[in-house]
């Protein structure tokens, strides 16, 4: 038996001395969002200290005083590149220069907030494109309205025409104010997934529900995100979509009404 065992050992193929060649694995395609099977985020994905403690924001300066200032680039355009955020985005630098005392959530300017049930609530917040809102949209609305009102007085319009025009113009201004200053639906931060369809967002380090999308220009996740409207200066989402629809409807209506009032066509009613 001992001789038989030694014979079997001698016939066994010895492993090669040369180490096996290892080939590098191809990099996985980049993904903005990954689905996490566990109910809680892995430790490597925990939010950093530079993210907002309550709202779902991307890592970065959490107050406008910490934003680096370069006055020479404050007016270099108000939109960021589609591929990568522009660190010299003019609106961000202009906000850091003008609104240093305001609170900050992502790239949003918080003018007023309160606390309800130990959770912050944004009462008045403007988007990153507020210069377009205040220096272009509002002057257009008020300028056209002022000219139309002057024409109504010049043409001696009856009082009922002036009252109807004032009511419609007031509704337009109210919708514009509400859509531009309301919380668009900034998502609170979730470190645990409340539901199975929630996915992990690596840009804001939080779980997000279906329909909530991270917007790099605003630097936050917005629920039911639709788009960013530079004319209103902010993102359009679940919080201000009804006001945005009212604003667009009133713009279309006032184009007709202002044309009728300024031309004196109301005389043929």
In sequence order, the β-bridge partners of residue 113 are 122
1 in a structural domain: no
| Most confident range, picked from 55-59, 60-64, 242-246 | 242-246
pLDDT tens digits for 210-224? 999 999 889 999 999
Average pLDDT over residues 52-74: 75
Give the integer Cα–Cα distance in Å for 175 and 244.
Answer: 7
241 in a structural domain: yes
Q: Does 186 or 44 have the greater pLDDT score?
A: 186
pLDDT tens digits for 74-102? 444 455 444 454 544 567 777 877 888 88
Contacts of 207 (CB under 8 A, 6+ apart): 36, 41, 190, 191, 192, 193, 194, 198, 199, 200, 201
20 in a structural domain: no
Q: Does 185 or 19 have the greater pLDDT score?
A: 185
pLDDT tens digits for 36-57? 434 444 433 343 346 677 898 8
Band of the pLDDT at 14, cuts 50, 70, 90? Answer: very low
Total of domains in the chain = 1
**In terms of residue numbers, what domain contains 234?**
39-263
What pLDDT is attached to residue 65? 79
Between the alpha carbon of residue 135 and those of residues 15, 112, 158, 233, the distances in Å are 77, 22, 33, 11
- Which candidate, 134, 155, 137, places its Cα nearest to that of 265? 155
The alpha carbon of 8 is separated from its chain's Cα centroid by a whole number of angstroms, namely: 72
pTM to 2 decimals? 0.75
């Amino acid at each position: 038996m001992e001789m038989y065992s030694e014979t079997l050992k001698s016939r066994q193929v010895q492993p090669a001395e040369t180490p096996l060649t290892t080939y590098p694995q191809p990099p996985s395609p980049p993904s903005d969002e990954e689905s996490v099977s566990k109910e809680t985020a892995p430790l490597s994905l925990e939010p950093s200290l530079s993210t907002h403690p309550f709202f779902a924001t991307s890592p970065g300066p959490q107050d406008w005083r910490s934003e680096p200032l370069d006055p020479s680039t404050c007016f270099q355009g108000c939109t960021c590149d589609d591929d990568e955020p522009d660190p010299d985005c003019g609106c961000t630098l202009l906000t850091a220069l003008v609104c240093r005392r305001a609170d900050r959530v992502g790239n949003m300017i918080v003018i007023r907030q309160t606390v309800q049930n130990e959770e912050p609530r944004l009462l008045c917040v403007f988007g990153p494109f507020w210069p377009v809102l205040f220096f272009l949209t509002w002057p257009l609305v008020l300028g056209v309205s002022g000219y139309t009102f002057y024409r109504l007085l010049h043409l001696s319009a009856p009082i009922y025409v002036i009252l109807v025009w004032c009511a419609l113009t007031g509704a337009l201004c109210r919708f514009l104010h509400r859509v531009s200053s309301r919380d668009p639906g900034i998502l609170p931060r979730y470190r645990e997934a409340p539901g199975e369809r929630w996915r992990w967002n690596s840009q804001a380090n939080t779980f997000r529900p279906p329909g909530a999308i991270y917007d790099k220009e605003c630097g936050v996740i917005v629920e039911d995100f639709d788009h960013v409207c530079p004319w209103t200066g902010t993102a359009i989402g679940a919080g201000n979509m009804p006001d945005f629809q009212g604003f667009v409807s009133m713009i279309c209506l006032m184009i007709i009404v202002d044309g009728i009032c300024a031309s004196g066509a109301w005389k043929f009613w």
